[in-house]
Amino acid sequence: MRYGTLTIARHGAVAVIALTSADGMNCYTPEMGEDLVAALRAAAADEDVAAIVLTGNGRAFCAGAHRDVLTGALGPSGLRIGQEAFIASFAPEFAAIPKLTIAAFNGSAAGIGVTMSLLCDLRLAVPGARLRLNFAELGIMPGLGSTRTLARLVGPARAKTLLLCSQTLTSEEAAAIGLVDEVVPADALQDRALALGEAAASASRALAAEIKAAVDAANDGDLATALRREADAAQRLRGA
């Protein structure tokens, strides 16, 4: 399938989805949201895919929502921002993709460019990339469940500071607080993301899905709950 706002390519067991625009800034539009839902669902359903990398082509990862759609303009799809499935309803499905998902910041990101990465399992970034959560500055509410995902990564107090004060972090600063997992030289970013994805392919798809689901539920309940969750998963795997 061909997409207007992104490309998708296979590298062994890893699907690489790259946001794409003529100016290299990859600003978000409802059309990009529709493409992301289709591409992510296709990669998630492909049994030969063990991991999914989300990155950008050009200067930026995603420089936030396009200024035109922020004014409420209709896109070519006839949708206004927030009406497309990616913002309206897809976040839980994205987060629950039963495969390793990796956001690879090839450049800077703002707004939804940052919050979409929070739905991934890992975040890699090139040195000096700038990550900006500018929702308060724009006068709009953060979306994609980011008030939860951000707080789980960096803690409630820091999440409030980042969101309310429209702070900009370098990739190194983001790594220091847990918002980015690794800072990787630009010429090694794709290789590192692919290596992590290929490493995840060593586990069966069923086992990978169970491990990811169990870790995602780690904050739900106590240690005894985690033990029961693991035992139930092991039983399901034995019966698979």
Q: Each residue of 51-81: pLDDT tens digit?
A: 999 999 999 999 999 888 888 777 788 888 8
- Nearest CA to 94 out of 40, 58, 149, 47 is that of 40
The per-residue pLDDT for 77 is: 81
Residues 32, 123, single domain; the answer is yes
Residues 48, 146, single domain; the answer is yes
The per-residue pLDDT for 240 is: 65
d(CA 56, CA 71): 24
The CATH number of residue 67's host domain is 3.90.226.10
pTM score of the predicted model: 0.93
Which segments within the chain are labelled E, that is strand? 6-11, 14-19, 51-56, 60-63, 100-105, 108-110, 122-125, 130-132, 168-170, 182-183
Enclosing domain of residue 184: 6-199
Residues 62, 133, single domain; the answer is yes
CA dihedral 151→49→193→53, nearest 10 degrees, is -50
